[in-house]
Amino acid sequence: MRIVIALGGNALLHRGESPDAAVQAANIDRVTTAIAALAHEHQIVITHGNGPQIGLLAVESAADPVLNTPYPLDLLGAQTQGMIGSMLARTLHDALPRRRIAALVTHTLVRADDPAFEHPTKFVGQVYPYDIATLLARKRGWHVAADTTGWRRVVPSPAPERIIETQTVHELLGSGTLVICAGGGGVPVTADHDTGALTGAEAVVDKDLTAALLAEDLKADFLLILTDVPCVYAGYRTPGQRPLLGATPAELRRGGFADGSMGPKAEAAARFVERTGGLAAIGALDAAYEIVHGRSGTLVRPDLPVA
């Protein structure tokens, strides 16, 4: 099978952990263990989140006295693709010594008039207490919003229209290469209507929605979304919480999942299954092999046709 794997930000940096490079490198070992077994049997494309990493770079850029203005989010996103892609490529190279590995900096086309630019919702960076978050918002012109454990910066997250380098990824897969791409949703760009020239956008594209689009364009058989919970839960964190071991796109959409956590993952899985007739699944990183073989996670299958 051809499998697109979307790694949540927790795969590299767990909540509350120091964002040091050594901490992230240690967490990468879990990623390698989870993916290597699948890579022996299937064609693999990996994409990943970058919320903690791009937030850290943005803080550093804003505080750098040498800069007249901070680096824009599109270039910071490119930096995270290179950094995280390198970490993944090196560890996978060691785990799969006879496999070709390529980490690509890729660009995701978005619409310049996407309403998301006026309504920031994408969490990036670390969690702050309310007073510090509001102080930073005033000082740096940020938008902030409540997260599950505090307050974080939010930035625009326009919908992905197309991954510019999809054909390159397709050709690499055809040569037997394991590809790492579209990290952090890809570098967001808009295209000039007349010339097609690309311009970076001040945004962070949702990596799960980009993964679904990438999987569709690559004609993947399976979209695997890995996160920090074993499956999707109905009534999450309520007395009536229960695991959803299987669902259709329609059932997922009726779940009312939060935009800042399971919502984009559920929507990405639903879109891929609806548009391709393939399978998607959401589950824990450590259970990647078991999820693909139907022994763990939430399997998302096509709606049955009406008789």
9 part of the active site? yes
Of 184, 186, 255, 265, catalytic? 265
Q: What is the largest CA-CA distance in the chain?
A: 67
Listed in sequence order, the residues at least 6 apart from 288 whose beta carbon sits closer than 8 Å to its beta carbon are 5, 34, 35, 37, 38, 224, 226
Of 51, 55, 186, 207, catalytic? 207
d(CA 230, CA 296): 7
For residues 226 and 284, the answer to whether their CB atoms sit within 8 Å is yes
Q: β-strand 162-163 against 107-109: which pairing, if any?
A: antiparallel
For residues 223 and 272, the answer to whether their CB atoms sit within 8 Å is yes
139 part of the active site? no
Q: How far is CA 293 from CA 4, 38, 41, 125, 218, in A?
A: 15, 10, 12, 34, 21
Chain centroid, CA 297 distance in Å: 18
E strand segments, the chain = 2-7, 43-48, 100-103, 107-109, 122-128, 143-146, 151-155, 162-163, 177-180, 187-191, 198-200, 222-227, 232-234, 242-244, 246-247, 279-284, 298-300
Count of residues making up the chain: 307
In the block, tokens 């058989």 appear at 221
27 part of the active site? no
E strand segments, 87-150 = 100-103, 107-109, 122-128, 143-146
219 part of the active site? no
Of 8, 49, 51, 122, catalytic? 122
Of 10, 77, 183, 184, catalytic? 10
207 part of the active site? yes
d(CA 80, CA 96): 23
Q: Please give the positions annotated as active site.
A: 9-10, 122, 207, 265
